[in-house]
Amino acid sequence: MCKRLYLFWAFSFFISFLFAQDPFHDKLVYQVPEMQKVKMKEKNEFLKVNDTTLTFDIYYPAGFSIKKSLPVVIFNNGVGSMDIPRWGQYTGWCRLIAANDMIAVTHQSRTAPNTLPDCEALIDYLHLHAKELGIDAGRIGLWTCSANSRVGARLAFKTRPGLIKTFVMYYGNTDSLGELRQDLPTLVVRAGLDAQFMNIGIENFVQNSLVQDTRIEVINYLSGIHAFDLFTNTKESEEVIKKTVAFLKNNLTKQVLPSKEFVLTNRNFMWLMNNGMKEKAVNEFRKARTRYRSDSTFNPFFNGVLREDVLNANAYWLLNHQKQNEGLETFKLMVETYPESTNAYDGLSDAWEAMGNKLEAIKNAEACLQKLDKDTNLDPQFKERIRQSAQDKIRRLKL
């Protein structure tokens, strides 16, 4: 029901957008002289299905030589329109990107259910023919907006993750994507004066990105309207557009692309544990522990991933929120990481008890007591609380 409602609103927004403007003559509010000097090759065929031929337009910087390759930004047609390549918004953005020493592409696509496959076909075609088009196949960015964003996000995060290296989403939202890519620099531009359903969707996507600790940047254009890049000719609009171009350029040309090595954080460790990915959480924790402890600059106090008290709190939270298996695995990691910790063994004993395994619970409570007498670093009052907890547990479980 929610998905159908979103699609209804998205389609309604798209239709309203058409009636609110003259899409073939509207211009980007930010213009630079170099935009008029770029080269454009139009109506290049990339897919033929029965009697329908789909084409793309490609924009090059002035003086570009096909002998060299440049990054490309694809302006996603996620609504299924044959006319979008001629819209002023798309021609303007493409010219702006080409004026900034990158290649830009806009394309046709058919309506659902063919829209996503058509967009995939365009990306695959550009990748396959990159050399002849002067494209650096390893540096493909995707820009999407409004109702296009559902398809655009699915391309970037799910169906073409190996090809899309940078992602920009303007005033649009997505369906549920589950696990997100951590290696994808993402820029989200939110228009404060936009429709509530649109901004709630953006906020949900941003929140999901933050709890998974992905590489995301957000511009909250407080006084921005939907399609501000066409209708709000202010310095603030220009600045947002400039920042967007800089984001694409930095991530596609200047900076080294992010490593595909997963960066475990305390936040995404818990997200993995809470979303049925216990094995990945455990494996990534072990890799992170090895990596951090081999780093001479590692500070155990300020790294929330490995800190004993943070692990302890996470494990008990899982244990107390119907995640006994996940809590047990977290306590096991705590014992692995801090094998001399009496508190770790006491916690592991609690986890085994919650799982109904009395023998393992008693075994770990006894290990806790054995280590407790040797532990001279604990606060005396805390030490006594642990002792009492372990003794009470053994007494209770042996009845």
Statement: residue 163 has pLDDT above 70: yes
Strand partners, 75: 106, 143
Which pLDDT belongs to residue 68?
A: 87
Which pLDDT belongs to residue 8?
A: 47
Choosing from 254, 280, 303, the residue where a domain stops is 254
Residues 329, 239 within the same domain? no
Residues 232, 287 within the same domain? no
pLDDT digits (tens, 9 = 90+) for 100-146: 999 999 999 999 999 999 999 999 999 999 999 999 999 999 999 99
Print the domain residue range for 11.
2-254
Residues 34, 167 within the same domain? yes
Residues 250, 270 within the same domain? no
The residue type found at 72 is V
Q: Is residue 68 part of a domain?
A: yes
Choosing from 223, 254, 285, the residue where a domain stops is 254
Residues 232, 325 within the same domain? no
Residues 224, 273 within the same domain? no
Q: Looking at residue 293, which CATH number applies to its domain? A: 1.25.40.10
Q: Are strands 70-75 and 186-191 parallel, antiparallel or unpaired?
A: unpaired
Range with lowest mean pLDDT among 54-63, 174-183, 281-290, 300-309: 300-309
Measured distance CA(110)–CA(114) in Å, rounded:
6
pLDDT digits (tens, 9 = 90+) for 367-379: 999 998 887 778 8
Q: Is residue 259 part of a domain?
A: no
pLDDT band (50, 70, 90) for residue 299: confident
Q: Is 140 left (phi over 0), alpha (psi -120 to 50) or beta?
A: beta
Choosing from 221, 254, 287, the residue where a domain stops is 254
Q: Looking at residue 149, which CATH number applies to its domain? A: 3.40.50.1820
pLDDT band (50, 70, 90) for residue 19: very low
Q: Is residue 261 part of a domain?
A: no
Residues 149, 198 within the same domain? yes
Residues 183, 325 within the same domain? no
Q: Is residue 137 part of a domain?
A: yes
Q: How many separate domains does the chain show?
A: 2
Q: In what order do the strands lie in the sheet with 186-191?
A: 39-49, 52-60, 103-107, 70-75, 135-145, 164-170, 186-191, 216-221
Which pLDDT belongs to residue 379?
A: 84
What is the pTM for the complete model shown?
0.91
